[in-house]
Structures are given as C-alpha cells and as structure tokens.
Amino acid sequence: MKKKVFAILTVFILLLTACSGNKSGNEEVKKLLNNKDKLVVGTSADYPPYEFITNKGGKTEYVGIDMEMARYIAEKWGVELEIQDVKFESLLVGLETGTFDMVIAAMSPSPERKASFSDVYYNSTHGFIIRKGDEGKYKTLKDFEGKTIGVQLGSVQEELAKGIKDIKTKGLPVVTTLLLELKSGKIDAILMEKPVADSYVLSNSDLTVVKDVEVKDDSQGSAVAMREDAKELTQEVNKVIKEIKEKNLVDEWVIDSNKLMNDAEQPNHYGLFVKGIETTLLLSLVSLLIGFVLGMVFILIRMKHIPVISFIIGAFVEIVRGTPMMLQILIVYFGLDVLGAKTSAFTSSIIAVSINSAAYVSEIIRSGIESISKGQMEAGRSLGLSENQTMKKIILPQAFKNILPALGNEFVTLIKETSIASTIGVGELMFQTTKIQSLTFEAMKPLMIVSIIYFVLTFTLTRLMKLMEGKLNYDN
C-alpha cells in the first residue's frame, strides 16, 4: 500500500514539475512578445498551399501550411493568435515597425532581407506556369530567353529571375493579377514555387506547369521571419520547428491544404461584396466628415492671417496634396506602431484618408469663400454683424452652395481611392475582391463584378448630388 501511495505521489510531483516548467517557458516567451498574450503574425494570403483563404460554414478562414504552423506555435506558447493579411511587399516593413511579431508567408531566408530567420521548415522547387498550347515552346530553361516572366514583388522568385539569362521580368504585388497578365498574353510565363503553381493550375484549365524545367534556390526553402534583434525569439521558434519536423507535421499540412483547395465550399460572393461595400462607404463617409471639419478649421485659422500658423497649415496642406495616399496610409499605419500607438488597419486608414481629405476640402472651402463678393462681408458689417456672424450667416451658406459639386466629387474620389487601404488589410471592396480571387482562383470575374459595383455606387452618388444641387439652386 505504501509503495502505491509513493508511486502516485511521485507521478503527481513529476506532473506538477512538468506543468510548472511549461508555464515558466510560456512566461519567457511572453516576455519576448513584450508581455502580450497575443501572437501577431503577418502573411499574404494569396499563395496556396502555404497561405490562402477558404470558406467554412459561410465564414472565411485563413488556412494552409503556414497558417497551420502559426496556429501550432501559438498553441505551443499558450497565446492567442492574430493573423494580419497584407500585401507581400509590406510584410517586412510591418515586421521592422513592430506591427507583426513574425512573418509566416513562405518567405525564403535571403541575406538581403533585414530580418532574423528561423530554420527552414519546408523545401520546394520553383517552376513556370504557361498557357496551355505553349508546352512545345519550353523544354529547357534556355527556351525562356527573350521572354517576359512574371514574378511577385518582393518574393524570392524576383531574385531568382535575375539569374536567368536574357529574360525580361515583370513584378506585380498579387499572384492573381499575374495570372490575368499571363492569360491576356502580356507575359509569357510566371515563375513560382511548384506547389503553388500546381494549386493555381488546378483551378485554371487554360494554364499548365512546364515539366522538367526547374530553377534552383540557394536560400534552401521557407522560414519564419522576425525582427533582426529578435534572436531569442528566433531560438524559441526553432525549438517549435524542430518538434514539427520530428512529428512530420508539415507533410500532413501539405496533404490537408491540397485537400482543402479541392474540397472547399463555394464561398458566398455576395456576402463578401456586401461587407466590402459597407466598409468602403463607412470609411469614405467618416473620412469625408472628419476631413470637412478639419478642412473648415484649417481655412478659418488661415483666414486669421497669423503668419506662423498660416505657414504651418499651408505647408501641411501642400505636403499632403503633393504625396500619394498610399504613402500616407503606410506612414500612418506603420508609423503609429513605431511610436507605440498601435491602431487597427481600419483606424489607421480613417486617420490617413481624413487627413488627405482635409487638405483637399480646405482648398475647396477656400475657393468657395473667395467666390463670394467682398461686398457681402462689408454689407454684413454695416448691418451691425460681427465678422464671425457675417461669416456664419451670410458667407458660408452661399459658399456651401457653390462648393457642393466639388464636395460631391471629393466623396466619389474617396470611394475609389479607399481601395488603397487594401494594402494594409482593410476589408473594403478591393480587399474582398482579392479574397474572392483567392477563394476561387479566378482573376477576371471578380474584377468585372467589383467594377460594376463601383460604377453603381459612384453613379448613384452623383445623381443624388445633382438632386441636392437642384434644391439649392434658388436662382431657378
């Protein structure tokens, strides 16, 4: 009896020790994640079977080899997983600014990339996708001389293509756009990893993969990327990767990912488009309202003719108007992270688009005010009104009537330009279109549908603005 009790106690103590050790290990990892209970992973979910989107029970889900690895790491560390889907070329920027804790996106550990890479977790070869019917043209790598090869911007294929003799390369940020270029004859082939190529060919019957032609990759496969100074975090990731290799989990994930691509449910396209419309309109409307208020404040302050303040506001307006909105969105999104003020992609987009709108709206309001005769101000003052009262009751109502068409045009422009927010993963119309392309592996059809949606939105808004102009046209 004593032996049994002793054995039970021994097992209990060992279990407590193991649990305590595991908890201690998790606490160490959390310290490396800046004491967060969340692991933020950046990816670009248009690269099956590594990372892509599928439809499960009416809900979209990030799946693939890399996404399974992200889930395994988060589960192993006992933290919540957050996946942020952005364009591939923005991943390392987000890593550097601290937006992501790590990037898992079939990224090769190239020395040129400023990151700390884990051990390689998966090796694959690179091949070419071509149009069906062109198989006879390409038997060896030499047959591609003089041809235009498509590659994804920022990918290892972009570097590999430079080593192929006498070819032209065309880099684009999204794989589905490359497929469209290939189908339309604008490029002759696409260079990508063979598992990815096989995935896209399965859903594009007019394309095929070139047999027996491969491109060697000296970077030796795919690895997890972390910040350059995150050496301890890299070591922790390597421990998990070692365990994954010992259990042969990657091979299982490859099989599961291929099965998901073949058996995925048909997504609810309409639901995704509706979500995109809602986000686009909300982002545009909120940004225009904030931009209008800021623009009004800017112009009223400038009209006070305080030299220093007027100069600062004027310089700010010119800088915003003189730089692309995409640059502004990226600076706000990643810049706030650098300053320690982490915000969501949607909030960052509202801030950037509002500032951009304010710069243009302030100039619209200025032109509206200047279109009113100076005699109006003098008449108001002669009636005993103050300058502010005259501006509020006489000048601004007339100016608003004059600038209404320009404000309507600004709203229409914002609806179209908010598509840039898809670069940082905001779920507006273009982001949802890319998601549908990833779900269906079709390039052209979703683009045609979204173009019709944009036209309906902008045309309807234009007609509504015409009706408002008619009601305000007292002269008629």
What are 50-76's pLDDT values in tens digits? 998 887 666 778 999 999 999 999 999
pLDDT digits 0-9 by tens, 211-243: 888 887 766 689 999 999 999 999 999 999 999
Interior/surface letters 239-258, b for 16+ CB within 10 angstroms, e for the rest: ebbeebeeeebbeebbeebb
pLDDT digits 0-9 by tens, 33-46: 887 889 999 999 88
Q: How far apart are CA 120 and CA 219, in angstroms?
A: 9
Which tokens belong to 277? 């419309």
pLDDT value at residue 21: 46
Q: Quick check: 347 pLDDT over 80?
A: yes
pLDDT value at residue 219: 61
- Percent of the chain exceeding pLDDT 70 equals 91
Q: Which CATH class is domain 126-215?
A: alpha beta
Q: How far apart are CA 190 and CA 200, in angstroms?
A: 11
pLDDT value at residue 73: 95
pLDDT value at residue 436: 82
* Across 392-411, average pLDDT: 86
More confident residue, 269 or 136: 136
Which tokens belong to 237? 């990731």
**pLDDT tier at 460 (50, 70, 90 boundaries)?**
very high
Interior/surface letters 145-161, b for 16+ CB within 10 angstroms, e for the rest: eebbbbbbebbbbbbbb
Q: How far apart are CA 386 and CA 377, in angstroms?
A: 10
pLDDT value at residue 284: 94
The values of phi and psi at residue 322, to 5°, are: -95, 5
More confident residue, 434 or 81: 81
Which tokens belong to 138? 């390409």
More confident residue, 124 or 288: 288
pLDDT digits 0-9 by tens, 130-174: 999 999 999 999 999 999 999 988 788 888 888 888 899 999 888
Q: How far apart are CA 363 and CA 366, in angstroms?
A: 5
More confident residue, 261 or 375: 375
- For all residues of the chain together, what is the average pLDDT? 85
More confident residue, 7 or 90: 90
Q: How far apart are CA 423 and CA 331, in angstroms?
A: 12
Task: Report the DSSP pairing between strands 102-107 and 38-43.
Answer: parallel
Give the residue extent of every domain in the chain: 22-122+222-263, 126-215, 269-473
Q: Does domain 22-122+222-263 have CATH number 3.40.190.10?
A: yes
pLDDT value at residue 57: 64
Interior/surface letters 48-78, b for 16+ CB within 10 angstroms, e for the rest: bbbbbbbbeeeebebbbbbbbbbbbbbebbe
Residue 273 in contact with residue 153, Cβ under 8 Å?
no
* Across 272-301, average pLDDT: 92
Query: What DSSP character marks residue 305?
Result: T
Q: Which architecture, in CATH terms, is 269-473?
A: Orthogonal Bundle (1.10)
* Across 18-42, average pLDDT: 72
For the chain, the distance separating the N- and C-terminal CA atoms, rounded to the nearest angstrom, is 105
In 343-428, where do the E strands start and end? Answer: none
More confident residue, 300 or 450: 450
Chain centroid to Cα 323, Å, comes to: 20
Interior/surface letters 261-288, b for 16+ CB within 10 angstroms, e for the rest: beebeebbbeebbebbbebbbebbebbb
Which tokens belong to 472? 């305000």
**pLDDT tier at 399 (50, 70, 90 boundaries)?**
confident
Q: How far apart are CA 205 and CA 131, in angstroms?
A: 9
Q: How far apart are CA 27 and CA 254, in angstroms?
A: 31
Residue 458 in contact with residue 415, Cβ under 8 Å?
yes
Q: Cα–Cα distances in Å, from 420 out to 144, 356, 378, 403, 428?
A: 34, 13, 45, 26, 9
Which tokens belong to 169? 């390369």
**pLDDT tier at 19 (50, 70, 90 boundaries)?**
very low
pLDDT value at residue 264: 56
Which tokens belong to 291? 């931009």
Q: How far apart are CA 329 and CA 432, in angstroms?
A: 18
**pTM of model > 0.85:** no
Which range, of 33-42, 278-287, 319-328, averages the lowest pLDDT? 33-42
**269-473 shares the fold of 22-122+222-263:** no
pLDDT value at residue 13: 52
Q: How far apart are CA 335 and CA 227, in angstroms?
A: 16
Q: How far apart are CA 297 and CA 366, in angstroms?
A: 11
pLDDT value at residue 306: 83
* Across 355-359, average pLDDT: 94
Which tokens belong to 5? 């009790």
Q: How far apart are CA 246 and CA 314, in angstroms?
A: 62
Which range, of 127-136, 168-177, 257-266, 367-376, averages the lowest pLDDT? 257-266
**pLDDT tier at 28 (50, 70, 90 boundaries)?**
confident
pLDDT digits 0-9 by tens, 85-122: 988 888 999 998 889 999 999 898 888 888 999 999 98
Which is nearest to 174 in space by CA: 436, 450, 451? 436
H-state helical runs in 142-174: 156-162
